[in-house]
Amino acid sequence: MKKWQYLAPLALFAVMLGFLAVGLNLNPREVPSPLIGKPAPAFALPRLDDPAQTLTKEDLAGKVWMLNVWASWCVACREEHPILVDFAKRSPVPIYGLNYKDQRPDAINWLARFGNPYEASLHDLKGLVGIDYGVYGVPETFVIDKQGVIRFKQIGPVTPQVLRERIEPLLKELNA
């Protein structure tokens, strides 16, 4: 019985040390999304540039597209924006913006100042579509296939490395 008095705390310590070792090797940017491999949530939102026009998920059916969640108040969005502008110029895949919890004039001015990589940007003032997509914060980027299924989610800014190693190969595969 006395043996267990000493072995139990040692075993508990070893298990906790194992959890710590595993946790230290995880990438905090890679939060698994329950939406990967599932149909993208439906939406019907006004365009940022023309609130009289509404865009829906069904309007995008049959093509591979990217959805970038952004806001004019987002510091990290400013970091990734030039990368998206450059990518939009050389990519055959349209990028749609989801302007998240932002004031329309601020967002329009921001795009005029920094460039507009978006085929269209949708205005999600209340953030309800963002919630449907499981947005943790901005920026976030999704790749959606021709069947409307989410195939990739990037939490945080898109970087040249993420584009080169993750997004571009996936887009080639989905468009093949």
Roughly what angle, to the nearest 10 degrees, separates helices 104-114 and 75-90? 50
Cα-based distances in Å from 8 to 2, 3, 12, 49: 10, 9, 6, 64
* Confidence label for 32 from pLDDT (cuts 50, 70 and 90): low
pTM: 0.82
* Residue 45 and residue 124 in contact, taking contact as beta carbons nearer than 8 Å: yes
For residue 19, the model assigns a pLDDT of 66
For residue 87, the model assigns a pLDDT of 97
* Confidence label for 57 from pLDDT (cuts 50, 70 and 90): very high
Triad 128, 158, 19: Cα angle to 5°: 85
Residues 14-32 have a mean pLDDT of 64
Is the sign of the CA dihedral 76, 80, 82, 88 positive or negative?
negative
Top-level CATH class of 35-175? alpha beta
At 52, is the secondary structure helix, strand, or coil? coil
- Mean pLDDT estimate for the chain: 90
* Residue 167 and residue 152 in contact, taking contact as beta carbons nearer than 8 Å: yes
* Confidence label for 16 from pLDDT (cuts 50, 70 and 90): confident
For residue 4, the model assigns a pLDDT of 65
For residue 95, the model assigns a pLDDT of 98
Domain spans in the chain, listed from the N-terminal domain onward: 35-175
For residue 94, the model assigns a pLDDT of 97
Residues 104-118 have a mean pLDDT of 98
Contacts 24+ apart (CB under 8 A), 112-118: 114/78, 114/81, 114/82, 114/85, 115/81, 115/82, 115/85, 116/85, 117/68, 117/81, 117/84, 117/85, 117/87, 117/88, 118/68, 118/88
Residue 30 pLDDT > 90, yes or no? no
Locus of tokens 């006004």: 46
Residues 104-128 have a mean pLDDT of 97
For residue 31, the model assigns a pLDDT of 53
